[in-house]
Amino acid sequence: MATITASQLDDLLYGRDKTPRIVAVEPAGRERVRLYRRLPDDTVVSELAPFHPWLLLTRPPDWTDLADQLSARELAGPHPYRWLVRCAAWPVFQELRGRLRAAEQPFFALSSPVEQYLLLSGRTLFKEMRFEELLRLQFDIETAGLDPRQPEARILMIALSTSRGHTRTIGAPGDDEAGIIAAFGEAVRQIDPDIIEGHNVFNFDLPYLIARAERHGLVLRWGRDGSAPRLGEAPTEENPRAGRRLKVGPRAIPYTDCHIYGRHIVDTYQQIQRYDALGNLEQYGLKDVVQALGLTRPGRTFLDGATIAERWPVEPDTVRAYAIDDVLDAGALSALTLPTEFYQSQIVPWTLQEVATRGPGEKIDDLIVRAYLAAGHSLPERQPPRPYPGGYAEVRASGLFRPVVKADVESLYPSIMLSRGIAPASDRLGLYLPMLRELTRRRLEAKRLARQTSGAERAYWHGIQGSFKVLINSFYGYLGYSRAVFNDFDAAERVTLAGQAIIKQVVAELEASGARVIEVDTDGVYFVPPPAARDEAAIEGYIARISALLGEGITLAHDGTYAGMISLKLKNYILLEPPDTIILRGSSLRSRSEEAFTRRFVREAARLFIAQSRAAVRDLYLDTAARVQRRALPPRDFARVLNITDKTFTSEATKRLAKAAAGAVVGDRVEVYQRYDGALARIDEYAGDEDVDYLLRRLRDMAGRFADLFEDGADFDYHFPPVTARTDIAALRAQGPVRQLSLF
């Protein structure tokens, strides 16, 4: 495709079929799908469309007994997957796929009928819609017990809210549980939401509700066709690999999937993890996240979740207020995080629920495959995976630095691919780079409009540019994605090697011009600027001069100025962002499995180090140790939040955790603490029996992160002396800066 018109570019990104306002697609019988559309007047209509499942083969099918239920068409081009085979119905597709597997005959197929329909038809969801036009329902259940199978388990009440401003609760003390569940189902049918949302709904609320409904023999008719929700297989001790995996960067987090006909389910517990790409949030619990993001509403009701069941009969209004605040918080998190996924759904031929849970490489795959099939062109074989170099990363200086600037090469890998024409060798139609270039152009335009507008209009353009950003950043990773149809490991290597050369050039130019480079990581550099570049205008000019040396299409940009930085080791550092925000980076500093009091200590100690107040650091350490000795810490301050993984119940190394986590399943997170006898226990079983010596060792271990800031071990020991439950901390306070310390 030598020249691509604006209309063709739009088709490449959004699909050739422009049917607007589709909010859901579902199978409907053997040869059709049902489309649900939300019209501008907010009514929902449905219509049927023909659907014939399809797959691609390297040669025509030769099973004569299926001949009258199959049709085959040869596609153009030299690639091996050149026969597009259409099936009369889904059972025929399943039969054909099974035979191909048994015969070990290669084929290309998608397992989802909805994905198949959207990809081949060129349709996508939500065209001509804005995020706020969706009707979203948030819900939260309050329960007695966390395991729906236990005798005392029951649903006490259900709170719900909608994106149209409606809130209500269902249930009162003494109400029949079956009646509460049935009333919630009726509310779902009356509201008719496109999206059902909640915090941790996949792993808790939905399985709990479905289990309790089964207990009462209720059929939950939540689907738009009156059908019941379909709960996926959950990970168990016996089968820990069951269920689906949420893609969050390099992590694959297990969860129990659920499907409701004609609706999408969005879990804000998942969404906030994808939103928090830089790892700024320490916890992903609803209240923790809302508070960290500054979204807590004045007058919000807070309760200890463990006390809900006992407070419900005597303080029902307080519990209702708490539950309503929970669903409003979930709605706020969704409004913050979901627009990026929503606007991607206008491009990618998936359901919103799939866009919100699947990996980025698969999205680019379907965009390119859709374009090739729309052009009637064959598909290549995937390349077998091979290793290739990654980005350049190095710590060039460790210690305390003031002030510090960060500069990064804007969209380094996409810029390299565009400026040097690097694309998959198998892309015979030449669609990869035009798609990337057009997404980049549209993102820059959306960013410009976001800066120039306000309110709902600004939110719209911000959501648009965010969706483009996710897709743009996925193009490089797609080259090295082992399951990508058009993967190309040679191309991926050329990109990374070019990136290494560019960032090394940046480092060389910075150092030659008087800057002190601290850390380099793939596309960014932290450095102490030369004396002539200390105010913001001078820094901007300085970075622009370096950028001008990097070549056409490559731009070095100012990404932040910090009052100070503590560089410890590669990808582990602390920043002080004016006026007083501490930013921790790296697993050694901010692991979510660390105790809260140790994380807080690191933040406060870093602030004091950067302020060059070592005496105050010592006081902070001794004050914290004294509180541990007195058992003055709230239990959640010394609890650790641990993930239940495949190995929790099978590895000898996790035997203590397995005992404490009895009843949990893979994907759960449990809060535990160490008792004085060394056993782990859940925090709700706390009995004033924490292991003080262990916690004091943990405190000093965390202090050890700062060891490189001291001249020698004796200086470190003076500021952070070893402390036990029997140490006389008052005596330590009275000691001067001596080299030898004694314990009491």
The string of pLDDT tens digits covering residues 422-458 is 999 999 999 999 999 999 999 999 999 999 999 989 9
Residue with tokens 């969050």: 248
Distance CA 7, CA 438 (A): 12
The string of pLDDT tens digits covering residues 554-563 is 999 999 999 9
Residue with tokens 């190394």: 653
* Contact assessment for residue 409 and residue 543, using Cβ atoms and an 8 Å cutoff: no
pLDDT at 532 over 90: yes
Element (H, E) at 259: strand 258-259
Strand pairing of 251-255 and 244-248?
antiparallel
pLDDT at 593 over 80: no
Say what the pLDDT of residue 237 is. Answer: 56
Tokens describing residue 441:
């152009």
Tokens describing residue 246:
């949420």
Tokens describing residue 76:
């153009």
* CB neighbour list of residue 431: distance below 8 Å, 6 or more residues apart: 1, 12, 368, 371, 372
Say what the pLDDT of residue 588 is. Answer: 79
Please, what CATH class does the domain formed by 131-345 belong to? alpha beta
DSSP secondary structure code for residue 76 in this structure? B
* CB neighbour list of residue 67: distance below 8 Å, 6 or more residues apart: none
Say what the pLDDT of residue 252 is. Answer: 79
Distance CA 594, CA 433 (A): 44
The string of pLDDT tens digits covering residues 468-479 is 999 999 999 999
* Contact assessment for residue 565 and residue 575, using Cβ atoms and an 8 Å cutoff: yes
When comparing pLDDT for 510 and 242, which is higher? 510
For the chain, the structural domain boundaries read: 131-345, 385-423+488-587, 588-734
pLDDT at 160 over 60: yes
Tokens describing residue 742:
């004694």
Tokens describing residue 739:
């080299």
Kindly give the residue spans of alpha helices, DSSP state H, lying in 201-315.
206-216, 268-275, 286-292, 308-311
Q: Check the CA dihedral 164-165-166-172 and report its sign.
A: positive
Say what the pLDDT of residue 619 is. Answer: 95
Distance CA 529, CA 474 (A): 32
The string of pLDDT tens digits covering residues 224-235 is 999 999 998 776
Tell me how long the chain is: 744
pLDDT, mean over the chain: 93
Say what the pLDDT of residue 741 is. Answer: 37
> What is the mean pLDDT of the segment spanning 184-213?
96
CA–CA–CA angle 619, 624, 629 (5° rounding): 125
**CATH fold for the domain made of 588-734:** Topoisomerase I; Chain A, domain 4 (1.10.132)
Taking the domain 385-423+488-587, which CATH number applies?
3.90.1600.10
pLDDT at 743 over 70: no
CB atoms within 10 A of CB 11: 19
Tokens describing residue 646:
């495949």
The string of pLDDT tens digits covering residues 201-248 is 999 999 999 999 999 999 999 999 999 999 987 766 556 566 788 888
Q: Which of 209-223, 240-254, 378-392, 521-535 has the lowest mean pLDDT?
A: 240-254
DSSP one-letter string for 357-409 = TS-HHHHHHHHHHHHHHHTTB-BPPPPPP-------EEE---EEESSEEEEEE
The string of pLDDT tens digits covering residues 324-362 is 999 999 999 999 999 999 999 999 999 999 999 998 889
The string of pLDDT tens digits covering residues 30-82 is 899 999 999 999 999 999 999 999 999 999 988 889 989 999 999 999 999 99
When comparing pLDDT for 471 and 589, which is higher? 471
Distance CA 492, CA 548 (A): 26
Q: Is 284 helix (H, G, I), strand (E, B) or coil?
A: coil
Strand pairing of 195-198 and 264-267?
parallel
The string of pLDDT tens digits covering residues 295-326 is 999 999 999 887 899 999 999 999 999 999 99
Kindly give the residue spans of alpha helices, DSSP state H, lying in 395-454.
412-420, 432-452
Q: Where does the pLDDT of residue 742 fall: very low under 50, low under 70, confident under 90, or very high at 90 and above? A: very low
Distance CA 375, CA 386 (A): 30
Say what the pLDDT of residue 565 is. Answer: 96
Say what the pLDDT of residue 1 is. Answer: 47
Distance CA 706, CA 605 (A): 9
The string of pLDDT tens digits covering residues 257-286 is 999 999 999 999 999 999 988 777 877 889
